[in-house]
Structure 1
């Protein structure tokens, strides 16, 4: 019963931060830059509709994305920014019928997506932190960020998004250190420091199955094609980590922090992979 209550509570916290394409206008399919080399249908400049976007804002090949190897499409997650822009900022007016706002709507979507991503991380920070004082600080920061998402289009484009992100990142770093320090207390860290690429830990293709990753600092780490099968990532910070083609079969990510659906969607897993209750197993994972 406690587990069920926790899942229900998490669903409530994250309900506005999960994609609902039925309420969007295909904004990710027009606002983003696409590259065929990165798993998208074709090369596309930002602001131009994808070749598979239909007039009803649905993807013509949505059911075949995995079959066609379009990992860029299957991995993308707007954190619910699409429906927020469509239904709240523009109150249901779509760009197809209002060409004068098409460019603006794309720009607003990119800002909203960043704000919703911050809200995702802050919501998780709130759920894992028990200190009442820090809880209140996080609550205030969530409230401030939420207020920004309800601004009108012109105001949204004038937000100093970098300054706000710096404030959020500072809070997330503090929470990360607190969570990880509790997890690794008295344990030996067997994660050997590797060379970095642009300051990010390089674990490209590394076999980590015998490595103690509990409470590990994997922020921004390159874990592309790394073997994490059967590992325990409880308390590990995965914010910004690149999990493309990482082997997560049988791994325990249930207690890790700051991992997103988009990251999980790029990895390889199976039915035995344990995920945080806020995330789901991709349909194309091994059964």
Structure 2
């Protein structure tokens, strides 16, 4: 998954320009799409990088583009400041490619699961088609939503297989549940369906989240100290970055332990 990890040193700060920022607990300002953040320097570095959290920009420290930024910069050129016509296409392509790279992350995770062996042919086909779409010259014109729906069909079926492997029944169904601030310390959430669940600020320290499906789950501020996410399904770097953990938190090998986590 190396190519699906953000490498800011090889990107022209697209995430600091292309997206819309709304003033919130994650961002201290409102910023429209396509306008550079006022903290962006001429060399594409952040002027307050070391102080983002204390200055009201924790969202910047958790964001992950799944490697889309460096790819768009490499293939379409970094000179968006000098050429507004190029800039608009770069920003649009960045958003589409990020979505496609996110799907590649999930599909690669699914193919790594032995329980998904009956679906490997379909998953490989979906992976190949997603990779083909990333090479389209006019990424900004792609209908990503339709493709995502097709891919999600196989991701859901993979989830069902993984969450029931070796068990008499699936884990708890908490899909889309509002669990904000909920005390789930040491909870048995193995094999749970947590798709789209709101876990903002939830107490998950010591919880067992192995084989839980967390696509779209909001883990901002969640306490994952000592939690076991070693085999959590579809967990992303973005989700780990948004949460709080420590040295006792078990993460999948493909993820990097966030620097702000306690030792």
- Compute the TM-score of the two structures, normalised by the length of structure 1: 0.87
Is the contact between residue 230 and residue 248 of structure 1 (CA under 8 Å) also seen in structure 2?
A: yes
Is the contact between residue 95 and residue 102 of structure 1 (CA under 8 Å) also seen in structure 2?
A: yes
The equivalent residue for 1:67 is 54
**1:132 Cα shift?**
4.5
Q: Which runs of 4+ in 1 moved over 3 A?
A: 129-133, 186-189
SS in 2 for 1:36: coil
Is the contact between residue 110 and residue 116 of structure 2 (CA under 8 Å) also seen in structure 1?
A: no
The equivalent residue for 1:167 is 150
Alpha-carbon distance in structure 2 between the residues aligned to 1:175 and 1:242: 21
Alpha-carbon distance in structure 1 between the residues aligned to 2:78 and 2:230: 39
The equivalent residue for 2:230 is 254
Residues 43/111 of structure 1: CA separation in 2 closer, same or farther (3 Å cut): same
> Is structure 2 residue 201 aligned with structure 1 residue 225?
yes
Superposed, 1:171-182 pairs within 5 Å as: 171-182=154-165
Alpha-carbon distance in structure 2 between the residues aligned to 1:137 and 1:203: 33
Alpha-carbon distance in structure 2 between the residues aligned to 1:169 and 1:61: 38
Count of residue pairs the alignment pairs up? 263
SS in 2 for 1:25: coil
**1:157 Cα shift?**
1.7
Residues 188/162 of structure 1: CA separation in 2 closer, same or farther (3 Å cut): closer
Is the contact between residue 4 and residue 66 of structure 2 (CA under 8 Å) also seen in structure 1?
A: yes
The equivalent residue for 1:24 is 11
> Is structure 2 residue 192 aligned with structure 1 residue 205?
no
Superposed, 1:102-181 pairs within 5 Å as: 102-129=87-114, 132-152=117-137, 155-181=138-164
Is the contact between residue 104 and residue 130 of structure 2 (CA under 8 Å) also seen in structure 1?
A: yes
Alpha-carbon distance in structure 2 between the residues aligned to 1:248 and 1:260: 14
Residues 146/166 of structure 1: CA separation in 2 closer, same or farther (3 Å cut): same
**1:136 Cα shift?**
2.3
Residues 237/133 of structure 1: CA separation in 2 closer, same or farther (3 Å cut): closer
Alpha-carbon distance in structure 2 between the residues aligned to 1:130 and 1:54: 48
Give the gaps of 5 or more residues in structure 1.
1-13
SS in 1 for 2:93: helix
Alpha-carbon distance in structure 1 between the residues aligned to 2:170 and 2:21: 43
**1:94 Cα shift?**
2.2
Alpha-carbon distance in structure 2 between the residues aligned to 1:243 and 1:132: 29
Is the contact between residue 129 and residue 175 of structure 1 (CA under 8 Å) also seen in structure 2?
A: no
Is the contact between residue 248 and residue 269 of structure 1 (CA under 8 Å) also seen in structure 2?
A: yes
Alpha-carbon distance in structure 1 between the residues aligned to 2:117 and 2:159: 16
**1:231 Cα shift?**
1.1
